[in-house]
Every structure is written in C-alpha cells, then in structure tokens.
A and B are shown apart, each in its own frame.
Chain A
C-alpha cells in the first residue's frame, strides 16, 4: 500500500491532453513539493518534474505540474506515443523524514 495515491491507469490518443492525479496528506504533499518520475519498461525511473512545477533540462514543456492542498497533478499535453510509460509521484514526508511514492500510473497512448 503506497503512501501517495495515484490512479492505476490513464489513457489518451495522440495529441490529447491527459492528467494524472496524486493524493497525499499534510505531512507530505500538503507541506512539501512534489516530484514526478517517468519509467519506461525495463529501465530505471527518470526525474520528470521536481519542486512541483520545474522541468529538468531536456524534458519537453508538454509536461507540467501543479499542486493544491494535499493533491498534485501531472499534465501531459500533445500526447505522443513515446509518452507511454509508468508515472510515479513522490514527496518528502516530514513524519517519515524520508521520501514517499505513489503506486504509479500506467499511461497508455491509444
């Protein structure tokens, strides 16, 4: 059972905009920034978004992040086939004094 809650799956057609939600609590999402990771099959996760809204160098601006209260979202606009992957949200948890992750969302591009 993951500390952060994500929908297990999401889907969209090429060109569409999709959003993935991430729900936490006051000790993690509610009080700290959220990070997002993209994991392609058989590979290590890759940092996709940090500090809730900041894209690392090389990440397309089609990806954007937001947060409100104890919930966060990752939005992908102009969906492309190469976006098909698992997406994980994460945050620092003040009670744990460590990182907590969501269970992951499998994005399918139809």
Chain B
C-alpha cells in the first residue's frame, strides 16, 4: 500500500522560505506513470493546487503563486519536496503532498497526512 509521509517545520517567519518533504513508501517515485504534487488548505477554507512535478522532471505550478514555488524530486531517497519563497501570513495553511494519476480525470489518489505551516514572526 502506497504511503506518503510529510516532514518539515510548522512555523516559518515572514519573507523566509517554506520547505516541506514528502517521502513515498510502498512504491517508486521514479515511476513514469504518475505526477507528484502539492495542495494546500488555509484554515477553514477550501483546497488550492500548488503544483506538481511530472516524470519528465518538468514542474507546473499555480500561476497565483507566480515564481515562488519550487518542486523537486530526490529519487535516491524516494521523496519529493516543496519550497515556497517569500512567505506571508496568507501562506498559512495545511499543506498536503499527493500522488496524481495522469489519466481518468487526473485525480489525487494518495495523500500525505498534512502539515500545518504557520507564517509568523
């Protein structure tokens, strides 16, 4: 059974960079079948797609986040990571990593447990 385990700090200072890692077990992140993505959910609000990385290594992100997003993969550790730079209080949210199928509606079929990241000094 595939599992995604998230790690990273729960508190980030304004203007600094948020960094989260998602470690995949029960399957290979090198698979050419899937995308690996990040979604966030501000407290009490809905879900927002942040971006994903495809098996080609190419990344795509939500234009609303402009160029602040970096998503990378470390195949040796079977994990992928998110970096969000120049954070503000508006970036406070629960961040989820997830596997995304590139077909049949491109669903997020496996999710990490979520990490609450608070942006505060």
Contacts and interface: CB of A to CB of B under 8 A. Distances in A.
Interface of A: 2, 32-35, 37, 43-47, 50-52, 54, 56, 88, 90-92, 96-104
A96 B105 contact: no
B46 A99 contact: no
B104 A102 contact: no
A102 B45 CA distance: 11
Contacts of A100: 49
Interface string B24-68: 000000000000010100000111110110000000111100000
A99 B108 contact: yes
B10 to A, nearest CB: 15
B51 A35 contact: no
A45 B111 contact: yes
Nearest to A91: B105
Contacts of A97: 60
A47 B62 contact: no
B47 A88 contact: yes
B62 A98 contact: yes
A54 B104 contact: yes
Given A35-B105, A50-B105, A88-B46, A98 B60 contact: yes
22 contacts: A32-B105, A33-B105, A35-B105, A35-B107, A44-B112, A45-B47, A47-B108, A50-B105, A51-B105, A54-B104, A88-B46, A88-B47, A90-B108, A92-B106, A97-B60, A98-B62, A99-B37, A99-B39, A99-B108, A101-B46, A103-B45, A103-B46
Given A44-B114, A45-B111, A56-B109, 14 more contacts: A47-B108, A50-B105, A51-B104, A54-B104, A88-B46, A90-B107, A90-B108, A97-B60, A98-B51, A98-B52, A98-B60, A98-B62, A101-B48, A102-B46
B96 interface: yes
Closest 7 CB pairs of A and B: A33-B105, A50-B107, A51-B104, A99-B49, A44-B111, A35-B107, A101-B47
